[in-house]
Amino acid sequence: MSSKVFPCPAAKKCGGCQLTNLSYEEQLSFKQGRAVKLLGKFGKVERILTTGEPFFYRNKVQAAFGRTRSGEIISGVYQSSTHNIVKVDKCYIEDERADAIIVTIRKMLKEFKLTVYNENNGTGFLRHVLVKTARGTGEVMVALVTGSREFKSKKAFCDALLNRHPEITTIIQNINNKFTSLVLGEEQYVLYGEGYITDILMGKRFIISPRSFYQINPAATVLLYETALKYADIRSTDTVIDAYAGVGTIGIICSDNAKKVISVELNPDAVKDARKNAKINGIKNMTFVCADATEFLFEMAKEGEKADVVVMDPPRAGSTVKFMKGVCAMKPQRVVYVSCNPETLARDLDFFVKNGYKVKKIQPVDMFPNTSHVETVVLMSRVDGK
């Protein structure tokens, strides 16, 4: 894409894509510049990796349902930091099949005389639709998030939806009647299929459930994970720690080469999925710990345990000094830091370079084209004698 004219008519109102005034080449230079500015002091910043495909990459799509003042049922996204729904039928960064399913559901509401949820008084039925797609297998999950459990003509509705979209492999009803900005509620029922979808990424299978975290740009995830794996340079005698592990993806990809992988994650649902993921891939050399990564690393270091490689992928806020102290005490030869926020990454790298590590490689990856987000993988190695 070299045109500067971003095709989405809702771009301004929606606010989800911040770089629509730039051509894709300009976006890449902008992100490269940001990475160099924040991380250049640690070493050479490699040229940003891209799939070359800035559109329709999101494998997870969620639409809010509501009514306009004139009563028309609409679906789309919340205008940034508000609860006003911007009507979006086709988003240029979302999976096209997912958007088509959402439009079909909106049309079906009238046919089935179903209402949409009203956030102001808690009445009405359909609140959100979440669609997840597994690009590696083609499987599609639809989660209907409703304000109440009662679902009139549930079976007929699902049959009609499956008839129009035979690509759907599972349908779930999730109930959310709380006053909250979270999309999913606690209670859910499988209406069709298994209740989850399975993806294949880098030769491994991963289960994706409605709630579990899974990288949203599958083609760019391969670039990211391949870089992390190359940097980790794992040998058959290595003990690897995968911290902030989500559903275990990075650790699972590392496990073929390693002696042992310890996966640490705070969210119990993600840990459950990670265990299942290891099982369906026949992996025997991984252990899964549900804990705060900081506390776990601190304890391991206190007990004098060692690791050869630490891979860490913390959320936007970055890691903690206590975690990094734990890592440094365990003296891994290599630390691979996967970051979705170059600001907190720069802060954390500062700590590592003052505590026995040298930055060897810095690789930005364009995981989220058209948005201002920058993903980066950094390789650090121990400075000998420290």
* Contacts of ligand SAH in 229-258 (CB under 6 A): 244-246, 249-250
Distance CA 144, CA 124 (A): 13
In the complex with ligand SAH, the residue whose CB is nearer, 147 or 210, is: 210
Which two three-digit tokens encode residue 208?
A: 């994706």
In the complex with ligand SAH, the residue whose CB is nearer, 24 or 298, is: 298
In the complex with ligand SAH, the residue whose CB is nearer, 75 or 249, is: 249
Stretch near ligand SAH under the rule CB under 6 A, chosen from 57-65, 168-176, 182-190, 292-300? 292-300
* Secondary element (H or E) of residue 350: helix 342-354
CB of 102 to ligand SAH, least distance (A): 24
Instruction: Pick one of 94, 99, 238, 265: the residue that binds ligand SAH (CB under 6 A).
Output: 265
User: 202, exposed or middle or buried, with CB in 10 Å at 0-12, 13-18, 19+?
Assistant: middle
Instruction: Pick one of 313, 348, 366, 375: the residue that binds ligand SAH (CB under 6 A).
Output: 313
Cα maximum dimension of the chain: 73
Instruction: Pick one of 59, 75, 173, 215: the residue that binds ligand SAH (CB under 6 A).
Output: 215
CB of 69 to ligand SAH, least distance (A): 39
Count of residues interacting with ligand SAH (CB under 6 A): 17
Distance CA 261, CA 254 (A): 8
In the complex with ligand SAH, the residue whose CB is nearer, 131 or 245, is: 245
CB of 363 to ligand SAH, least distance (A): 15
**Count of other CB atoms within 10 angstroms of residue 21:** 12
Distance CA 87, CA 75 (A): 5
Which two three-digit tokens encode residue 110?
A: 């009238």
Instruction: Pick one of 270, 327, 336, 367: the residue that binds ligand SAH (CB under 6 A).
Output: 270
- Cβ-proximal residue to ligand SAH, closest one: 246
Indicate if 8 belongs to the active site.
no
What sign does the CA torsion over 196, 201, 205, 206 have?
A: negative
**Count of other CB atoms within 10 angstroms of residue 349:** 27
Instruction: Pick one of 292, 333, 353, 358: the residue that binds ligand SAH (CB under 6 A).
Output: 292
- Write the DSSP string, 202-237: TTEEEEE-SSS---S-HHHHHHHHHHHHHHH---TT
CB of 206 to ligand SAH, least distance (A): 9
In the complex with ligand SAH, the residue whose CB is nearer, 294 or 363, is: 294
Q: Please check whether residue 378 is in contact with residue 354, taking contact to mean a CB–CB distance below 8 angstroms.
A: no
Instruction: Pick one of 63, 293, 310, 378: the residue that binds ligand SAH (CB under 6 A).
Output: 293
- Catalytic one of 8, 17, 91, 340: 340
In the complex with ligand SAH, the residue whose CB is nearer, 267 or 355, is: 267
Residue 228 as a binder of ligand SAH (CB under 6 A): the answer is no
In the complex with ligand SAH, the residue whose CB is nearer, 174 or 294, is: 294
What sign does the CA torsion over 286, 290, 293, 297 have?
A: negative
Residue 213 as a binder of ligand SAH (CB under 6 A): the answer is yes
Residue 324 as a binder of ligand SAH (CB under 6 A): the answer is no
Beta bridge partners of 361: 379
Helix and strand numbers, DSSP H then E, in the chain = 10, 16
Q: Which of 318, 308, 383, 316 is nearest to 353 (CA)?
A: 383
Annotated active-site positions, please?
A: 340
Q: Residues interacting with ligand SAH, by CB under 6 A?
A: 213, 215, 244-246, 249-250, 264-267, 270, 292-294, 313, 315
